[in-house]
Structure 1
Amino acid sequence: MNGKLLGGVDIGGTKCAVVLGEASGGGVRVVGKRTYPTPASPADAVASFLHQMDGLMAEHGVARLDAIGVSCGSPLDSRRGLILSPPNLPHWDRIDVAGPLRARFGAPVGLQNDANACALAEWRWGAGRGSRNMAFLTFGTGMGAGLILDGKLYVGTNDMAGEVGHVRLAEDGPVGYGKAGSFEGFCSGGGIAALAKSLAAERLAAGDPPAFCPTPDRLEAVTAKLVGEAAQAGDPLALDIFRLVGKQLGRGLAVLVDILNPDTIVIGSIYGRQRELLEPVALATLAEEALPISAASCRVVPAALGEAVGDVAALSVAMNELQPR
């Protein structure tokens, strides 16, 4: 192995992954990976990261690591390497994950939230490659952003930069990030499902059920995926829902374009799967809402790494530790 040898740890509420990778020639490859259920206690989890990384290194004949990256949900303190009780990890209060890894492997260790980690991965190895100013939007279960500004990751004063899901786009609408009508309310898997359930209930009461919810007992089973499939098949209500989502996405993009003046916005997850439905409306709204000179300088593209982003996001955090500050 001739490139940079990187370790990665991805911490989730239900499962964790420890990854070994090699970055070289402008790309990255996953050398080995171990995925397992998240241990019950933070102490057990941290111990498992050390054990699993030791095992991967021994398995692949790796004697040392150049850097290690950790990806986890917010909130956290990236400067001190602490996890601060994310919603999906409620007992992880001020848990030091960077210190034990640094002590065991003698390598620099970086900690970033999952949106920032994905932003770094798409910027370095995906759709944002070559960008100087880039925003990455998760557009999955929730809506968050990772920001690359002037060629560097921007995390803000206390790691809360990029919480675009909390921005209110309308006076009323589906609830996301604890706020009705928010960016996350309209542009996330949970938000789309909530919007679809509300509108489907109205149609059911009027005796005009949509294809994705033909009977009242199916209401709670409605998901964004189900609505997307119905829209692809031509269901009128599902198409209306995605037109509304696309319009609100365009409004959110316009806010980012006007404030940050990025050259690239990369959008993940649902946008890539439903690009045909969302892109025309979102880009038309962006053109209407944003300053023309700024909008003309920004390309909006789907994420390129797809399902692989989960494997390389933490590795990109490790790679970021090797860059000049």
Structure 2
Amino acid sequence: MYVGIDIGGTKCAVTGGRFDGRQIEIVHKKKIETPTDRTPEEIIGILADEVMSWDEEKTAVGISCGGPLNSQEGIILSPPNLPGWNHVRITEILEERLRIPAYLQNDANAGALAEWLFGAGKGKKNLIFLTFGTGMGAGMILNGGLYAGAQDLAGEVGHIRLEPFGPVGFGKIGSFEGFCSGGGIALLAEAMAREQEQLGRKTAYLLPGKRITAKCVAEWARRGDETAVKVFRTCGEKLGKALAVLIDTLNPEMIILGSIYGRCRELLEPAMRQVLERECLLGTYENCTIVPAALGEEIGDYAALATAVYGGKEWNISVQNWRNTAD
């Protein structure tokens, strides 16, 4: 049985899965709080105790966590959503406690592995997974393996500047994350609502004492509110602009879009497709399928398990099996 640990700012998920070389079956799952008054070592100990309470023999453990981190050495390096997690040697700690190999990946890379091994990207050799949630990051499977770059920083596409002005994301004005993330959509929506307010017009989602969120803007866009529709049209256009760069540069077979895209596809796709048709090389766009993540809201669980499977190299066997059995 493989073990997956998905580490978040307020909660962790510990998952156990049986992998037959082609599919994985989740047989254990537990959410565990990450209280701020506990040290990282104490929290990791709680996670390890949960795993040790399972009777099955364990093969490997995979950890999915927001960066920055060093996947080669298994060190978490002060993620902004994990105060106090400074230079935590998590794989070393877990290997000592569990007596099995431990592997670490950032959440975007782990998500790419999950969709490649278990989700929409099965059998593909070149794909890009975009988180498109609270932030915008990418995990890339290139030539049949995970590409992480020289310093584990490949895929930080959210930092790409799309426009000289616009919402701030990833610490940069007008960035891909500024336009295409939960926080970015909220910022864009507020800016557009304030502009309408200056013109003496009301915007449905701008309510006294209520925080603007991507979710509430989407709800009003579905009701036909003009400003909300414009917010998602703008987001879709910027998404298309960024995807065109990735498609023409890396020539992937597939791009898998997570979280917000899956929930708001109908609001984003028309504008995204218009830009892609205009901007992409004809051959690269025609041969790239763009789909929402197949693993949906459970991708964090599968991402951690995929990190364990990939680290143990069983993915070589499974990918070959998928190619051999492809229709």
Is 1:92 the counterpart of 2:90? The answer is no
Identity of aligned residues (%): 50
- Amino acid of the structure 1 residue aligned with 2:276: L
Q: Residue 321 of structure 2 aligns with which residue? A: none
Deviations 1:218-272 (A, max 9, x none): 4x51111111011111111111111111000000101111111100000011111
* Distance in 2 between residues matched to 1:231 and 1:127, nearest whole Å: 28
* Distance in 1 between residues matched to 2:124 and 2:301, nearest whole Å: 22
Bigger mean CA deviation after superposition, 197-206 or 138-147? 197-206
Do the aligned partners of residues 98 and 25 (structure 1) sit closer, same or farther apart at CA in structure 2, a change above 3 Å counting? closer
Q: Residue 324 of structure 2 aligns with which residue? A: none
Is 1:175 the counterpart of 2:191? The answer is no
- Deviating beyond 6 angstroms after TM superposition, the runs of 4 or more aligned structure 1 residues are none
Superposed, 1:250-269 pairs within 5 Å as 250-269=240-259
Please give the TM-score of this superposition, normalised by the length of structure 1. 0.93
* Distance in 2 between residues matched to 1:308 and 1:85, nearest whole Å: 25
Q: Residue 287 of structure 2 aligns with which residue? A: 297
* Distance in 1 between residues matched to 2:294 and 2:52, nearest whole Å: 31
- Amino acid of the structure 2 residue aligned with 1:21: G
Between Structure 1 and Structure 2, how many residues are aligned? 313
Q: Residue 13 of structure 1 aligns with which residue? A: 9
Superposed, 1:207-286 pairs within 5 Å as 207-213=200-206, 215=207, 217-218=208-209, 221-286=211-276
The Cα shift of 1:25 comes to 5.2
Bigger mean CA deviation after superposition, 278-287 or 226-235? 278-287
Is 1:162 the counterpart of 2:152? The answer is no
Q: Residue 189 of structure 1 aligns with which residue? A: 182
State which of 124, 127, 133 in structure 2 corresponds to 1:131. 124
Instruction: Check whether the contact 2:111–2:139 (CA below 8 A) recurs between aligned residues.
Output: yes
Q: Residue 102 of structure 1 aligns with which residue? A: 95
* Distance in 1 between residues matched to 2:293 and 2:105, nearest whole Å: 19
- Amino acid of the structure 1 residue aligned with 2:228: A
- SS at 1:93 equivalent: coil
- SS at 1:274 equivalent: helix
- SS at 2:32 equivalent: strand
State which of 16, 20, 30 in structure 2 corresponds to 1:34. 30
* Distance in 2 between residues matched to 1:285 and 1:128, nearest whole Å: 24
Is 1:201 the counterpart of 2:184? The answer is no
> Structure 2: any 5+ residue segments left out of the alignment?
317-327
* Distance in 2 between residues matched to 1:33 and 1:277, nearest whole Å: 33
The Cα shift of 1:105 comes to 2.8
- SS at 1:33 equivalent: strand
Please give the TM-score of this superposition, normalised by the length of structure 2. 0.93
- SS at 1:249 equivalent: helix
Q: Residue 140 of structure 1 aligns with which residue? A: 133
Bigger mean CA deviation after superposition, 265-274 or 41-50? 41-50
Instruction: Check whether the contact 2:161–2:172 (CA below 8 A) recurs between aligned residues.
Output: yes
- Amino acid of the structure 2 residue aligned with 1:50: A
Q: Residue 320 of structure 2 aligns with which residue? A: none
